[in-house]
């Protein structure tokens, strides 16, 4: 089964439906050369100090660089891309009140790196989340062209509906070949992996993923983007990082420094100098009145 490919003006509902049905899709030419250049220039100094992977899964000839919201302004724009964020909210909306940022990471696959083992990203939580609940909406932005030769992401469309112990056959694997500026969408349940780089050029992708507001994130955003950095960001991005409650009584904190004399239970926004932005977060304050 070939991957479906969409234009950047595709409705978010159509993209969500494609992921529900097939687990993966491509949107062509979402960002222009200027944004690709800015993102690459901002992240490359951090990539240059990133070690290669320690095993075959992370890639012995692959560099994986994170903390990109804190490090790169352009990544913040991509995290907040209207088309992607809209589709992510539609796709994950049936299972959560809010979505949050799960991971930011560039994946730089160099010549000679072997193909990664096919896997499902949702297994970060083991098999504890019922298969009927989809926990992830994932993206890989192509910062260079993705080709079959340079390690374009592999996946098996439709495997998001398989039993978890089914692995698939080699002839069922397709690759997300796409031009720089395009983005590969895939769910947490679909089988996928980085491809083998048989070329003489390195392949650079940007992995940005979203998850349910009541789950623990793969990349700990409160350490990767701590409050002294997060308070400089737009409130919408702060919320995506997780500096907001996921629901009533989910994610408040008690201030150990007693900065708020009147309250002991406070919503995360107050750590960034903001007031709560929803009724159930405000209730954490009113409960103390």
Residue 184 · residue 176 · CB < 8 Å: yes
For position 288, what pLDDT does the model report?
47
For position 77, what pLDDT does the model report?
98
Provide the phi-psi class of 130: left if phi over 0, else alpha when psi is between -120 and 50, else beta: beta
What is the Cα–Cα distance from 15 to 89, expressed in whole angstroms? 11
For position 109, what pLDDT does the model report?
98
- The dihedrals phi and psi of 62, each to the nearest 5 degrees, come to -130, 135
Tens-place pLDDT, residues 138-192: 999 999 999 999 999 999 999 999 999 998 899 999 999 999 999 999 999 999 9
Tens-place pLDDT, residues 195-208: 999 999 999 999 99
Q: What domains are there in the chain, each with its CATH number?
A: 5-221 (2.60.120.620), 249-289 (no CATH)
For residues 46-74, average pLDDT: 98
Give pTM, 2 decimals. 0.94
Tens-place pLDDT, residues 205-252: 999 999 999 999 999 999 999 999 999 999 999 999 999 999 888 999
For position 283, what pLDDT does the model report?
53
For residues 88-111, average pLDDT: 98
What is the Cα–Cα distance from 116 to 267, expressed in whole angstroms? 41
Beta pairing class for 24-27 and 62-65: unpaired
For residues 42-57, average pLDDT: 98
For position 249, what pLDDT does the model report?
86
Binning pLDDT at 50, 70 and 90, where does residue 263 land?
confident
């Amino acid at each position: 089964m070939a991957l479906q490919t969409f234009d950047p003006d595709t409705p978010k509902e159509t993209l969500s439906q494609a992921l529900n049905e097939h687990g993966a899709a491509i949107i062509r030419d979402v960002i222009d050369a200027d944004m690709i250049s800015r993102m690459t220039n901002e992240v490359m100094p951090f990539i240059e100090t990133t070690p290669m992977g320690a095993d075959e899964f992370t890639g012995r000839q692959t560099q994986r660089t994170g903390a990109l919201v804190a490090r790169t302004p352009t990544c913040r724009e991509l995290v907040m891309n209207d088309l992607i964020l809209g589709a992510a909210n539609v796709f994950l909306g049936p299972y959560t009140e809010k979505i949050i940022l799960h991971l930011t990471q560039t994946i730089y696959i160099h010549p000679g790196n072997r193909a990664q083992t096919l896997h499902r990203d949702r297994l970060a939580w083991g098999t504890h989340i019922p298969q009927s609940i989809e926990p992830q909406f994932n993206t890989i932005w192509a910062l260079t062209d993705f080709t079959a030769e340079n390690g374009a992401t592999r996946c098996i469309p439709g495997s998001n509906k398989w039993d978890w112990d089914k692995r698939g056959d080699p002839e069922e694997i397709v690759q997300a070949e796409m031009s720089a500026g395009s983005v590969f969408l895939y769910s947490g349940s679909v089988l996928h992996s980085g491809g083998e780089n048989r070329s003489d050029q390195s392949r650079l992708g940007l992995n940005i993923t979203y998850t349910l507001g009541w789950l623990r994130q793969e990349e700990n955003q409160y350490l990767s983007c701590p409050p002294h950095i997060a308070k400089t960001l737009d409130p919408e991005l702060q919320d995506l990082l997780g500096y907001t409650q996921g629901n009533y009584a989910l994610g408040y904190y008690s201030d150990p420094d007693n900065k708020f004399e009147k309250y002991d239970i406070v919503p995360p926004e107050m750590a960034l100098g903001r007031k709560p932005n929803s009724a159930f977060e405000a209730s954490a304050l009113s409960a103390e009145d």
